[in-house]
A and B are shown apart, each in its own frame.
Chain A
């Protein structure tokens, strides 16, 4: 089925460890983005990309890196995990210019201990 695939679904990290959250979409969407969702905070934008080789920061980019080497993939890297990065992470994509809604992945629940 077409859509946005995120892996892993769950992850526990120790403080200071690094890891990459994977996101892939098969809809040929130009736009991809990462959000984090915390209780009572709604969703906050971390990074986004409007095409291969083009990325930009969102509202809460500190502690995260992204790259976009292909249209399909948009991985999110945690450089040195901190307990404050405990959250649920969502990847979303959309077709630029369509004025349409975003397609979200099912999320990665990350706990940093």
Chain B
């Protein structure tokens, strides 16, 4: 079945460091891909998304490119801040139909220190 694999955390960085969180997927067809972020004690917020190959999603300095050839959707940010400390989830939506559930990776915890 469809699945998402994320790099294991936690990821610990200093402020202004470069961030990469790897995400690869297995899916039949052409899924949509998402990154969600969960700040401590809060719900999930959509960070960015891409719906077709070569699309680049971006938001708040974060970027991810839908790479069909490598089935990847890696999250990057050039300079992290302490406020970016959170759990990041890569997810896919396998079918373009109503009610399709998201399939999530296991999440990657990012901790940024000043």
Are A and B bound to each other? no
- Give chain B's interface residues, CB within 8 Å of chain A: none
